[in-house]
């Protein structure tokens, strides 16, 4: 019988989660339906390797691991992922919102009346 690696010595919950809500992440693995994803056939690909998504929830599994509920844009699937199956990308939703706000403020006409609030 093959030895199965279950990471039984690892307890991620002793540290803070490595990803935050809204953080942009990339899948490091292909994820297939093991029968627990409703509406998809067993073995059907849910997430492709390299697919971009956003962390929408953070939960736990077996009082040992963080599970990051991740909404993947291309496939439209929301899948629970382990931290080792994800990689952070350079930006997050909050930074994208901040950038949009900065762009909007820059496009507003400047007030040169000399009046301050």
What local confidence, expressed as pLDDT, does residue 108 receive? 55
Q: Which domain holds residue 97?
A: 13-105
Is residue 42, in this structure, part of any structural domain at all?
Answer: yes
The predicted model scores a pTM of 0.69
Name the domain count of the chain. 1
What local confidence, expressed as pLDDT, does residue 43 receive? 93
Q: What is the pLDDT along the chain (117 residues), one digit of tens a residue?
A: 555 556 667 787 888 889 999 999 999 999 999 888 898 999 999 999 999 999 999 999 888 899 999 999 999 999 999 999 999 987 545 455 445 445 555 555 555 555 554
Q: Give the CATH number, domain containing residue 37.
A: 2.30.30
Is residue 92, in this structure, part of any structural domain at all?
Answer: yes
What local confidence, expressed as pLDDT, does residue 8 receive? 67
What local confidence, expressed as pLDDT, does residue 19 receive? 92
What local confidence, expressed as pLDDT, does residue 2 receive? 58
β-partners of residue 45 are 32
Distances (CA, A) of 85 to 67, 71, 79, 100, 117: 10, 14, 11, 30, 50
Buried b (16+ CB within 10 A) or exposed e, 87-114: eeeeebeeeeeeeeeeeeeeeeeeeeee
């Amino acid at each position: 019988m093959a030895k199965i690696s279950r990471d039984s010595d690892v307890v991620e919950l002793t540290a803070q989660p490595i990803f935050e809500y809204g953080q942009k992440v990339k899948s490091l693995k292909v994820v297939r339906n093991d029968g627990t994803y409703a509406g998809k056939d067993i073995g059907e690909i849910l997430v492709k390797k390299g697919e971009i998504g956003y962390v929408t929830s953070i939960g736990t599994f077996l009082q040992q691991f963080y599970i990051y509920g991740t909404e993947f844009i291309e496939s439209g699937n929301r899948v629970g992922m382990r931290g080792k199956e994800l990689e952070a990308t350079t930006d997050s939703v909050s930074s994208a919102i901040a950038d949009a706000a900065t762009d909007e403020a820059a496009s507003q006409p400047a007030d040169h009346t000399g009046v301050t609030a």
